[in-house]
Amino acid sequence: MTTRLVVIGNGMVGHKLLEELAALGTPGLEITVLCEESRPAYDRVHLSEYFSGRSADELSLVTPGFFDQPGLHLRLATRAARIDRAFKRVTTADGEVIPYDKLVFATGSSPFVPPIPGNDRPGCLTYRTLDDLAALAGWGAQSKRGVVVGGGLLGLECAKAVRDMGLETHVVEFAPRLMAVQVDDGGGRILHRTIEELGLVVHTGKNTQAIVDGSGIDGANARHAMKFADGSTLETDLIVFSAGIRPRDELARQCDLGVGQRGGIMVDNFCRTRDRDVYAIGECAQWGGKVFGLVAPGYDMARVVAKHLHALLTREEARDLPEFAGADMSTKLKLMGVDVASLGDAHGATPGSRSYQFSDERRQVYKRLVVSEDGKRLLGGVLVGDATEYGTLLQMMLNGMDLPEAPESLILPASDGKSRPGLAVDALPAAAQVCSCNNVSKGQLCVAVAEGATSIGALKKATRAGTTCGGCVPLVTQIMKAEMARQGLAVNNHLCEHFAHSRQELYHLVRVERIRRFEDLLARHGQGLGCDICKPVAASILASCWNEFVLQQEHASLQDSNDYFLANIQKDGTYSVVPRMPGGEVTPDGLIAVGRIAKSYGLYTKLTGGQRVDLFGARLEQLPLIWEELIAAGFESGHAYGKSVRTVKSCVGSTWCRYGVQDSVGTAIDLENRYKGLRSPHKLKFAVSGCARECAEAQSKDVGVIATEQGWNLYVCGNGGMKPRHAELLAGDLDTATLIRYIDRFLMFYIRTADRLQRTSVWRDGLEGGMDYLRDVIVHDKLGLADELEAEMALVVDTYECEWKRAVTDPKVRARFRHFVNSEAGDDQVAFVPERGQIRPASAQEKRAFRGIPVVVETE
């Protein structure tokens, strides 16, 4: 018998319900999903990353083929307009009637727009969906100044997006402090000051009375003027409302389902409404008088409903079904690079509670603990500027663990060489929830370790812990190692079965013993023949130390596939060609040469976020021919294939820009030419901005340089990608010579000490003492390594040669670039189709259509 389930909404929580139902495999379930938007579920938590270069596809939460499952039907751009509970049917906006047996509301929330006269003027926007972001990008391109109305969590995320567009950014908040719900007055002051030092202007305690035409006011030429109750005005070209959310409960009101006084569809512990065939989950639901605005409680609701439906439809015993029992609203986030965390009773509202506070206005750090009257239990806390203790404090609070005799020691800086009291993972109960996103307990982690999951990768696969936001990974790692030790298992950092050493140890062995061949390293310190883990690691270490050509006979077999062919292999078996364009600068003749070569070989061309041109679709045998022509035109390898320095992005700087205070282009070119080809544990990206407006996005890079009136500020350990991380200030107002010395030291210290495939941001998190320790090593030469590190970098710089120039002039290396060992023929499985005046790889279906028919590549 088929059961018809209709799910209204395909946001993060609605999609989690579908994933949980798919995992349970409930038989006979026919699911129709109504999604108002034109694209399926995507990650709203990281929405602001859209402006840092993360695409809509990269934000998607839908695994390939998910909606191809039988019995699962997704209707995009389809709005539910009416519910008829008597006849159990949903009518869509275009008049289609969809019957149901069970119905789930996952309609989420909508942004609250204050009822201010003029709030609907052109250029007054909201910040909630990808379509909103596309509109924001369009208006941002026509604007110089932007205002975000709302200084809460969402408002500050939105402000980051506005700032990332290069606009002068203002935040207007009605409350007397930022993030009034999460932080107290002390934390609010530090946060206010820190946000303003990042280049934003904050206006708190502002009551907006009206929004009017701003042109001509006080000589301004702005699109809008915001009039405040205190008589002041603020001119702006763009206004974004991000002042909170309201549950999307209008359909429930229409069909009399029962809605709370302040909104939200009222549900019981199984997330059922007053109609037992209708459920509500996520931000549209109200449980216990509360609406939960975080994703983790919504995921809990989705799990509860999935198991409840499964039990009902399979007639399984329902006695032990999980129930939704509310959620802890503690949260930790990074706003524009600033750590902010709030736990439990952050404001000390519990009768009899007392608090401990620590404030460091120089470092802009504020911490507060709220404890029980007897000082034995942690009730809540606030952390601003440094939230490293969040995981420890959260577990202490959630599990009612005893506090140390002096609770303040948990937040005071360590002194006299003594470390702060931390969390003893053995004291955590088995039921302690470690991963709130995926509801994974310490007990489940320990069971998985006992069953053989003795690496973080294996533990993630077995339990899903740490696979959503990743915030619990440090604690997951602690629990894994503690459980391995308890079971008598060896806890080691061995690179692989062939080397009982870490990458850092191998680096020192190679450097100290001056080992130049993998065979020698293996003979002295390893066993066996090596593998696809240790060979590329050894290749990278040898290149970092001695900078020999990676395709020399003794090194070539160690390289992974991209390094072996000095190109990134693409999904269709072709390769990309990426010539270096230092700092993004290229002459007209250079552009003409690249265009001519791309046209000659029928390549797809694309400008990248790293300010250079990528050429796609090159066949293996074409690579030396293409590179010969590029080298003749004055280009070098861009090292896009290597774990090495990739690009140094730059703005136009003081040469052209009226805001620029230093020559960012010249500095970027000098840095890229200095460090080109440097091999490292992971890829490295740089950027240089000519002023604090930060158009080159230097604070999202491994090495970021920002101009000041006095010189350069050096930021390190940032990255984009799946888990973006803002870089942190290492040193300020540096002259150019000092800047280069510090970068030399930083890079070589990272190469010496990082683990395999470890980004600088992750490496920095593992340094005991964090950025303060790194600053001591790099700036103050605490370890006495400065001269040594600089000398090691000088060797790399002095021995640089273009790898592709060497490859095309060496007959033995050049002979490697053939698809078949015994034939000059190319790969006949490669096929392209024309699109937008260029080529793209043919799909599997298109390739089948091409069989037996010559493929014509069309170019314009």
10 Å Cβ neighbour count for 494? 13
**308 phi and psi angles, rounded to 5 deg:** -65, -45
Question: Closest Cα to residue 54, out of 168, 142, 133?
Answer: 133
10 Å Cβ neighbour count for 646? 23
Q: DSSP characters for 6-73?
A: EEE--SHHHHHHHHHHHHHT-TTEEEEEE-SSSS--B-STTGGGGGGT--HHHHB-PPTTGGGSTTEE
Higher pLDDT, residue 126 or 531: 126
Secondary structure of residue 334 in the 3-state scheme: strand
Mean pLDDT of the chain: 87
Residue 845 pLDDT greater than 70, yes or no: no
Q: Is 651 annotated as a binding residue?
A: yes
Residue 465 pLDDT greater than 90, yes or no: no
Residue 166 pLDDT greater than 50, yes or no: yes
CATH number for the 3-110+247-314 domain, one of 3.30.70.100, 3.30.2310.20, 3.30.70.260, 3.50.50.60?
3.50.50.60
Q: Kind and range of the H or E element at 223? A: strand 221-228
Q: What is the dihedral of CA 376, 382, 388, 394, to 10 degrees?
A: 50
Instruction: List pLDDT tens digits, range 605-648.
Output: 999 888 999 999 998 889 999 999 999 999 999 999 899 999 99
Residue 828 pLDDT greater than 80, yes or no: no
Question: Closest Cα to residue 600, out of 626, 568, 570?
Answer: 626
Domain(s) labelled CATH 3.30.413.10 in the chain stretch across: 638-798
Residue 796 pLDDT greater than 70, yes or no: yes
Domain(s) labelled CATH 3.50.50.60 in the chain stretch across: 3-110+247-314, 124-243
Secondary structure of residue 222 in the 3-state scheme: strand
Higher pLDDT, residue 144 or 476: 144
Work out whether the CA dihedral 257, 259, 265, 266 comes out positive or negative.
Answer: negative
pLDDT at 320: 75
Mean pLDDT of 519-530: 90
Question: Closest Cα to residue 499, out of 531, 465, 525, 517?
Answer: 525
Lowest average pLDDT, out of 35-44, 66-75, 530-539, goes to 530-539
pLDDT at 769: 79
Q: 428-446 b/e with 16+ CB inside 10 Å = b? A: beeebbbbbbbbbbbebbb
Q: Is 657 annotated as a binding residue?
A: yes
**In the block, which residue shows the tokens 């990281």?**
46
Residue 302 pLDDT greater than 70, yes or no: yes
**In the block, which residue shows the tokens 């136009």?**
652
Tokens coding 198: 């990042």
> What are the residues facing 233 on neighbouring strands?
227
pLDDT at 217: 64
Question: Closest Cα to residue 369, out of 184, 549, 513?
Answer: 184
Distances (CA, A) of 668 to 579, 672, 741: 16, 6, 15
Contact assessment for residue 556 and residue 827, using Cβ atoms and an 8 Å cutoff: no
Distance separating alpha carbons of residues 293 and 304, to the nearest angstrom = 17
Instruction: List pLDDT tens digits, range 79-136.
Output: 999 999 999 999 999 999 999 999 999 999 998 999 999 999 999 999 888 889 889 9
Sequence-ordered list of residues with C-beta below 8 angstroms from that of 580, at least 6 positions apart, any chain: 612, 635, 636, 637, 638, 639, 672, 676
pLDDT at 410: 87
Contact assessment for residue 48 and residue 6, using Cβ atoms and an 8 Å cutoff: no
CATH number for the 638-798 domain, one of 3.40.50.920, 3.30.413.10, 3.30.470.10, 3.30.2130.30?
3.30.413.10
Contact assessment for residue 37 and residue 131, using Cβ atoms and an 8 Å cutoff: yes
pLDDT at 268: 94
Higher pLDDT, residue 735 or 422: 735
Distance separating alpha carbons of residues 382 and 331, to the nearest angstrom = 10
Contact assessment for residue 694 and residue 701, using Cβ atoms and an 8 Å cutoff: no
10 Å Cβ neighbour count for 654? 18
Contact assessment for residue 62 and residue 15, using Cβ atoms and an 8 Å cutoff: yes
pLDDT at 824: 67
**510 phi and psi angles, rounded to 5 deg:** -65, -45
Distance separating alpha carbons of residues 45 and 57, to the nearest angstrom = 15
Distances (CA, A) of 336 to 163, 198, 387, 563: 10, 8, 14, 35
Contact assessment for residue 668 and residue 581, using Cβ atoms and an 8 Å cutoff: no
Q: Are strands 97-99 and 89-92 parallel, antiparallel or unpaired?
A: antiparallel
Confidence band for 416, pLDDT divided at 50, 70 and 90: very low
CATH top class, domain 427-491: mainly alpha
Sequence-ordered list of residues with C-beta below 8 angstroms from that of 2, at least 6 positions apart, any chain: 28, 29, 30
Distance separating alpha carbons of residues 618 and 492, to the nearest angstrom = 43
Residue 856 pLDDT greater than 50, yes or no: no
Distance separating alpha carbons of residues 214 and 235, to the nearest angstrom = 6
Confidence band for 157, pLDDT divided at 50, 70 and 90: confident
pLDDT at 707: 96
Residue 233 pLDDT greater than 50, yes or no: yes
Mean pLDDT of 695-710: 94
Higher pLDDT, residue 561 or 345: 345
pLDDT at 471: 65
Residue 564 pLDDT greater than 90, yes or no: no
pLDDT at 854: 42
Q: Is 531 annotated as a binding residue?
A: no
Confidence band for 542, pLDDT divided at 50, 70 and 90: very high
Distance separating alpha carbons of residues 411 and 148, to the nearest angstrom = 33
Lowest average pLDDT, out of 151-155, 650-654, 758-762, goes to 151-155
Q: Indicate the burial class of 173 (C-beta count within 10 angstroms; 0-12, 13-18, 19 or more).
A: buried
Question: Closest Cα to residue 201, out of 715, 692, 691?
Answer: 692
Long-range interactions of 815-818: CB distance < 8 A, separation 24+: 816/551, 816/556, 816/564, 816/565, 817/565, 817/620, 817/621, 817/623, 817/624, 818/620, 818/621
> What are the residues facing 688 on neighbouring strands?
650, 705
**In the block, which residue shows the tokens 């270096």?**
580
CATH of domain 124-243: 3.50.50.60
Question: Closest Cα to residue 23, out of 612, 439, 480?
Answer: 439
Residue 219 pLDDT greater than 70, yes or no: no
Sequence-ordered list of residues with C-beta below 8 angstroms from that of 121, at least 6 positions apart, any chain: 211, 223, 224, 239
pLDDT at 342: 87
Mean pLDDT of 387-412: 85
Residue 415 pLDDT greater than 50, yes or no: no
Q: pTM of this prediction?
A: 0.57
Sheet bearing 233-236, strands edge to edge: 208-215, 221-228, 233-236
In angstroms and rounded to an integer, the radius of gyration of the C-alpha atoms of the chain is: 29
Tokens coding 723: 């888990």
Q: Is 284 annotated as a binding residue?
A: no
Going through 627-698 in order, the beta strands assigned E by DSSP cover 645-650, 684-689
pLDDT at 857: 38
Domain(s) labelled CATH 1.10.10.1100 in the chain stretch across: 427-491
Confidence band for 855, pLDDT divided at 50, 70 and 90: very low
Question: Closest Cα to residue 579, out of 639, 620, 628, 643?
Answer: 639
Sequence-ordered list of residues with C-beta below 8 angstroms from that of 213, at least 6 positions apart, any chain: 223, 224, 225
Sequence-ordered list of residues with C-beta below 8 angstroms from that of 400, at least 6 positions apart, any chain: 377
